[in-house]
């Protein structure tokens, strides 16, 4: 995989927004897979700026969701559907119909998961999939020991992930659902270009294991090593445990300009 070390989160957001811009210019109706959490916010901010300044037309872009809590009432402000509408779809001026995600309030969760995988395939597959990473190495909500060929399905969050996410629920862990629907690792690997952004020292161990460790389901993000075109963008702090950091810096500095991200 390609590892790009950037000075800070803002630079990471701008770099990834540029890659999305290049995609949309060559494929105006691209299917963009978005992630929630704090890390991707600089990407959405940079994308909004491009649209606001008239540098990019995203009017035909389609957006799809990576994961969703199970059991939150429809319209709950922290359901990932609400978050993506608030952070991405609305600010980019896209109609709600351009957005799809799994139904976390479905009565038949397995059927909703299967329907979502089918919908992604019928939409032509994801072009760029933005990913964050959990402190435990999860991508989407594929917690440690998820099958590396998993499809969209229900998962149970680890205690650590529920603690990490309690900040979105007034710091009250009892409000964080136990269950989620997440695109599986196999589903994520079908995206044409997964781009993982990690920032801050808290992610340094997970990044090092993802990039330089063995492929292992105990570090779900390490499955990206199997993808022919996966990019990991990290700020200095998140890169601080990479043994090959100097090599990654030199590789990016000398990268042929025609190659893009
Ligand atoms: P964060 O979440 O960006 O809020 O740290 C990342 C994740 O859990 O995937």
What is the per-residue pLDDT across 198-231, written as a single tens digit (0 to 9) for each?
Answer: 999 999 999 999 999 999 999 999 999 999 999 9
Whole-number CA gyration radius for the chain: 17
Does 261 map to a domain?
A: no
Does 259 map to a domain?
A: no
Q: Which atom of ligand 1 is nearest to the CA of 37?
A: 4
Does 168 map to a domain?
A: yes
Mean of pLDDT over the chain = 97
> Which residue minimizes the CA distance to atom 2 of ligand 1?
37
Ligand 1 centroid to Cα of residue 38, in Å, is 6
Binning pLDDT at 50, 70 and 90, where does residue 74 land? confident
Check 14, 87, 127, 138 and give the catalytic one: 138
- 22 lies in which domain range? 2-253
Does 260 map to a domain?
A: no
Q: Which atom of ligand 1 is nearest to the CA of 161?
A: 8
Instruction: Quote the number of domains for the chain.
Output: 1
Does 71 map to a domain?
A: yes
Half-sphere exposure of 127 (CA within 13 A, CB side): 18
Among 38, 158, 169, 176, residue to substitute to test ligand 1 (most atoms within 8 Å of Cβ):
38
Q: Which atom of ligand 1 is nearest to the CA of 138?
A: 9
Does 173 map to a domain?
A: yes
- Of the candidates 147, 168, 156, 127, the one whose C-alpha atom is nearest the C-alpha of residue 220 is 147
DSSP-derived secondary structure for 200-244: SGGGHHHHHHHHHS--BTTBGGGGGGGSTT-EEEEETTTTTT-TT
Ligand 1 centroid to Cα of residue 254, in Å, is 30
> Could you tell me the CATH number of the domain that includes residue 167?
3.40.50.1360
- pLDDT tens by residue, 76-119: 999 999 999 999 999 999 999 999 999 999 999 999 999 999 99
Specify whether the CB–CB gap between 209 and 138 falls below 8 A. Answer: no
> Which residue minimizes the CA distance to atom 8 of ligand 1?
134
The ligand 1 site (C-beta within 6 Å) comprises: 37-39, 132-134
**67 is known as an active-site residue:** yes
Share of residues in the chain with pLDDT > 70 (%): 100
Q: What was the pLDDT predicted at 38?
A: 94
CB count within 10 Å of CB 258 equals: 5
Which residues have CB under 8 Å from 90's CB, separation 6+? none
Does 75 map to a domain?
A: yes
Give the angle 123-118-36 at the CA atoms, nearest 5°.
Answer: 75
């Amino acid at each position: 995989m390609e590892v790009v070390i950037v000075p800070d989160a803002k630079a990471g957001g701008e770099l990834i927004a540029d890659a999305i811009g290049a995609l949309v210019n060559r494929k105006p109706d691209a299917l963009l897979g978005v992630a929630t959490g704090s890390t991707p916010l600089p990407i959405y901010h940079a994308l909004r700026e491009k649209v606001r300044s008239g540098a990019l037309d995203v009017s035909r872009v389609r957006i799809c969701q990576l994961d969703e809590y199970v059991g939150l009432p429809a319209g709950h402000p922290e359901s990932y559907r609400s978050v993506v509408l608030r952070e991405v779809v609305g600010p980019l001026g896209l109609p709600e119909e351009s957005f799809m995600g799994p139904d976390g309030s479905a009565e038949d969760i397995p059927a909703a998961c299967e329907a979502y995988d089918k919908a992604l395939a019928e939409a032509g597959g994801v072009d760029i999939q933005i990913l964050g990473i959990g402190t435990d190495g999860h991508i989407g909500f594929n917690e440690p020991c998820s099958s590396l060929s998993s499809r969209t399905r229900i998962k149970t969050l680890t205690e650590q992930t529920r603690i990490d996410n309690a900040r979105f629920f007034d710091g009250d862990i009892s409000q964080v659902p136990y269950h989620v629907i997440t695109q599986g690792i196999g589903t994520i690997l079908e995206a044409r270009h997964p781009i993982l952004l990690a920032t801050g020292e808290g992610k340094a161990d997970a990044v090092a294991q993802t990039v330089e460790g063995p492929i292992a389901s105990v570090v779900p993000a390490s499955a990206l090593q199997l993808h022919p075109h996966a990019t990991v963008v990290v700020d200095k702090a998140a890169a601080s445990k990479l043994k090959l950091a100097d090599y990654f810096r030199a590789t990016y500095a000398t990268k042929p300009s025609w190659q893009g991200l």
